[in-house]
Amino acid sequence: MFTTRFQAWVRRNAQRMARLLGRLPITPNQVTVAGTLFTFVAAVLAGFAQLRLAGVVLAISGTFDILDGALARATKRSYPYGAFLDSTFDRYSEGAVYIGVAAYFLGHADPYMRWEVLACLLALAGSFLVSYVRARAQSLGFVCDSGIFARPERVVVTVAGLVIGVWWVLFAVIALLAVLTNITAMQRILEVWTQARAQRRAREAAAQAPPRGEASRL
């Protein structure tokens, strides 16, 4: 994940922008929807081989993705539905980007095309798994924040690959995402497994311990 210093810098500037936006009649959910629409535009541009412009638009959508949560906190309008909507639309956004990139690759008749599209599918599956594992783990009471490639890293790397605008660089970026997203999902699975094992051992130890009254007589 990004360094703590960089995260603090992003949050600080996002809060400043959120305070300005808070003076306007704009809700966090509207920001979420706007960011998703920008992502769809980026996906369409990528599909039509406008890679650099797609990268710029995707970077703009990433700003919206940061601002919606900051605006919710700044205006004290943090609701469970807002978090749900944000998480759901994030998945739509990621899916749209990979579909757009796959469409771009399909438009190039070269012998590596099948590998390019396969990389898109693997990256898409890995990205969805990273988010799903975290959401499912947290719903069961586990802490699940580890991993080398969370959503911010994925967006930054994808934007870089699009802005460079060369097909083989974009292919390399997608292949990298295909590997690192699935590694991140496995890291999170291992993290949850470690916590589950510790819980199980704690329960077993508690079950084997003698009752308090019996222990005092001993």
Print pLDDT tens along the chain (218 aa).
444 555 566 666 667 776 777 677 778 888 889 999 999 999 999 999 999 999 999 998 988 887 887 777 777 777 788 888 888 999 999 999 999 999 999 887 666 677 889 999 999 999 999 999 999 999 899 988 888 888 888 988 999 999 999 989 999 999 999 999 999 999 999 999 999 999 999 888 888 877 666 555 55
User: CA-to-CA distance for 218 and 215, rounded, in angstroms?
Assistant: 5
Q: Which of 65, 84, 64, 67 is nearest to 75 (CA)?
A: 67
3-state secondary structure of 27: coil
Determine whether 145 is exposed, middle or buried from the number of CB atoms within 10 Å of its CB (0-12, 13-18, 19+): exposed
**Could you tell me which residues come within 8 angstroms of residue 163 by beta carbon, excluding any fewer than 6 positions away?**
51, 52, 55, 56, 59
- Residue 184 CA to residue 3 CA, distance in Å, equals 17
Q: List all residues 6 or more positions away from 58 whose beta carbon is below 8 Å from its beta carbon.
A: 38, 39, 42, 97, 155, 158, 159, 162
Helix (H, G, I), strand (E, B) or coil at 181: helix
Q: Output 197-203 pairs: Cβ under 8 A, ≥24 positions apart.
A: none
- The tokens for 135 are 């959401």
Quick one: pLDDT at residue 214?
Answer: 58
Q: Report the C-alpha gap between 60 and 205 in whole angstroms.
A: 52
Q: How many CA atoms lie within 13 A of 63 on its CB side?
A: 12
Give yes or no: 90 in active site.
yes
- pLDDT of 207 reads 82
Distance CA(100)–CA(46), nearest Å, equals: 5
Catalytic residue chosen out of the listed positions 65, 68, 86, 90: 90
At position 180, the amino acid (one-letter code) is L
Residue 153's pLDDT is: 85
**Residue 3 identity:** T
Beta carbons of 171 and 116 less than 8 angstroms apart: yes
Give the torsion through C-alpha atoms of 122, 82, 147, 57, to 10 deg.
60
- Cβ–Cβ under 8 Å, residues 129 and 181: yes
Topology of domain 4-209, CATH: Four Helix Bundle (Hemerythrin (Met), subunit A) (1.20.120)
